[in-house]
Structure 1
Amino acid sequence: MSTTPAPLPPGLRTRTLTLDDAAAVADLVRAEETVDLGAPEVDVEDIRADWLRPSYDLASSAVGVEDPAAGGRLVAYVDHAGDDVAYAAVDPAHQGRGIGTWLAGWVQQRARERGATRVGSQVPQDSAADRLMAALGYRVRWTAWDLELPEGVTMPAAPLAAGHTLRDADPADPADREAAWTLLEDCFLEWAERPRQPLADFGARVWDREGHQPWNLRLVHDADGVLVGATHVHLAGGGGYVAKVGVRRDRRGQGLAAAMLVDAFALAREHGATRCYLSTDSRTGALGLYEKVGMVVSSTWVNRAIDL
């Protein structure tokens, strides 16, 4: 099933996006998040990191909708980020005009042209985007949650298992970065339905992300020097965000994940974070682990997709 293409509301026009539009797109997303979540989470660095992936072509993957009557201000955008993943946002002041339906039709056609058999996006539950996608026939694939460590709350002490060490990845050592990529992709591909992310694309979102510092990528090794865990944490939206955390399958159950989270959130607070948070979803089975260490659900999301 797919959306029948619908015209844009009169007076609006479309244009190709460039890297210079990242701030305007971030503003659109943040405006939606403020309405749907009460506070924005996305930073312009998140947008630029995705757009700067070597495998990604912005000119053919995204389109903006602008209002000439408002000086050409961007009021919506949609992005076929790759495979079956799309991102979109509509200025809350322009919602309900049919723009979202046009965006859905555009990205479905673009994904179909690239050989995709489905396309979808993750949106806050019960948001305007969620209701529109449901009306257009998008089915729920999974539920996701943002979890936050409340301000002033400290996670229970979680020392590393005996013989293990935790350190920054060495920025001058490509082997450290490749090992982190391999481990984290192995962990995520246990449940994620997508191809393995190329090393350069992974790097664009991690060590090449604007503002990256050595403490953002942390590695756990066992007594034999074997990498068994990795964490990617960075500052975003005024908080410390754990973007990725993974432990090698055969080393789980030793408390390594809890120790890595304690370490990540402590480092984020040392670097000025006023809140600490992460995301998980129903495919991982990790919700209970995070709640057990004191985190609380701050928002609920649904991932919806449509067959093409």
Structure 2
Amino acid sequence: MNAADVPGHPGLPGLPAGLTSRPLTMADAEAVHAVIAAEEVADLGEAELTLEDVVADWQRPSYDVAASTIGVLDGDRLVAYADLSAPDVAYTAVHPDHHGRGIGTALARWVQDRARAAGSTRVGTQVPEGSAADRLMADLGYEVRWTAWDLELPEGAEVQARPLPDGYALRDATDADHEAAWTLVEDAFLEWSDRERMPLADFGARVWGRPGFEPWNLRLLLHGEDLVGVTHVFLAGDAAYVARIAVRPDHRGRGLAPAMLVDAFGRAREHGAARCYLSTDTRAGARGLYEKVGMVVSSTWVNRSVTL
């Protein structure tokens, strides 16, 4: 496939001699993950994003992989990519072996052009603080919107038991619970996130449609028969990642979120996790909550964006 095969899809001008570009397909997910992992190892010391993360994002029904991506190749080897995941959200990575060649600048121009064509007035992405991508984006005029952190519950760390108040109980979600879980999580996240509501089908692609999903990955907090909280946790090798945790506003301030976290960590350890992670940022104001249950910052990220 090349850009000409996808209507309205521009190629990538400005590449160094010998490199080519083309739209990506689902068959490229593994190669894309390899590039992301190589850059994360260089920036963070280990890879955090998984192949399942890439697949879950690309399989959203609303998403067109070929129309929304560009890959840079050195011969048959993918060495960089860009992905306009939403009209104002992009992801990019350049293999460290190819840093300093102007590829990141070419990808930034491509992302801005695609975002503008999608009707967005701003586009941004999240990168490790102080990384090569962070420095490049600063040079290109991208401004910091917020700071984010990955927090880790270190291997072997003991978490103090947090019993639920009387009347509350946790259980695995069933298929019949999916729409209610989506509603509660999206309502909670949209209190502080400036984006459109994620369609149920797209949410499902990232949660119960994620490769390897098991029922214990989606936990519901009930007050009697009333759904008041949701936790989404999954395994990535020997690590567990709490991707989403939400409590309904009228039940906050009762110590429920710490108890939900302890439950998620415990379930993950029962399924082989040695470490547990989650992410938060300055918009949510929840870092202190996570540190109180023993989590520590493992990496710091900045979300940068530019006006189009």
Preserved CA contact (<8 Å) 1:239 1:275: yes
- Corresponding residue of 1:115: 119
- Corresponding residue of 1:288: 288
Paired with 1:293 and 1:67, the residues of 2 have a C-alpha distance of 46
- Out of 117, 130, 138, the residue aligned to residue 134 of structure 2 is 130
- Corresponding residue of 2:20: 13
Paired with 1:269 and 1:26, the residues of 2 have a C-alpha distance of 26
- TM-score w.r.t. structure 1 length? 0.95
- Out of 34, 39, 43, the residue aligned to residue 36 of structure 1 is 43
Deviation at 1:237, TM superposition (A): 4.5
Paired with 1:59 and 1:6, the residues of 2 have a C-alpha distance of 18
Identity %: 66
Paired with 2:18 and 2:193, the residues of 1 have a C-alpha distance of 41
Paired with 2:183 and 2:13, the residues of 1 have a C-alpha distance of 43
Match of 1:55, SS?
coil
- Corresponding residue of 1:249: 249
Deviation at 1:131, TM superposition (A): 0.2
- Corresponding residue of 1:97: 101
Deviation at 1:82, TM superposition (A): 0.6
> Is residue 169 of structure 1 aligned with residue 173 of structure 2?
yes
Deviation at 1:246, TM superposition (A): 0.3
> Is residue 216 of structure 1 aligned with residue 221 of structure 2?
no
Paired with 1:166 and 1:92, the residues of 2 have a C-alpha distance of 44
Match of 1:33, SS?
helix
- Out of 149, 158, 183, the residue aligned to residue 153 of structure 2 is 149
Uncovered stretches (5+) of structure 2, i.e. residues with no partner: 1-11
Match of 1:80, SS?
strand
Deviation at 1:6, TM superposition (A): 6.3
Match of 1:195, SS?
coil
Preserved CA contact (<8 Å) 1:6 1:101: no
Uncovered stretches (5+) of structure 1, i.e. residues with no partner: none
Paired with 1:183 and 1:298, the residues of 2 have a C-alpha distance of 29
Preserved CA contact (<8 Å) 1:43 1:237: no
Preserved CA contact (<8 Å) 2:156 2:274: no
- TM-score w.r.t. structure 2 length? 0.95
Letter paired with 2:149: W
Deviation at 1:112, TM superposition (A): 0.2
- Corresponding residue of 1:235: 235
Match of 1:14, SS?
strand
Letter paired with 2:157: V
RMSD over aligned Cα, in angstroms? Answer: 0.9
How many pairs does the alignment contain?
A: 297
Paired with 2:266 and 2:40, the residues of 1 have a C-alpha distance of 26
- Corresponding residue of 2:301: 301
Deviation at 1:76, TM superposition (A): 0.1
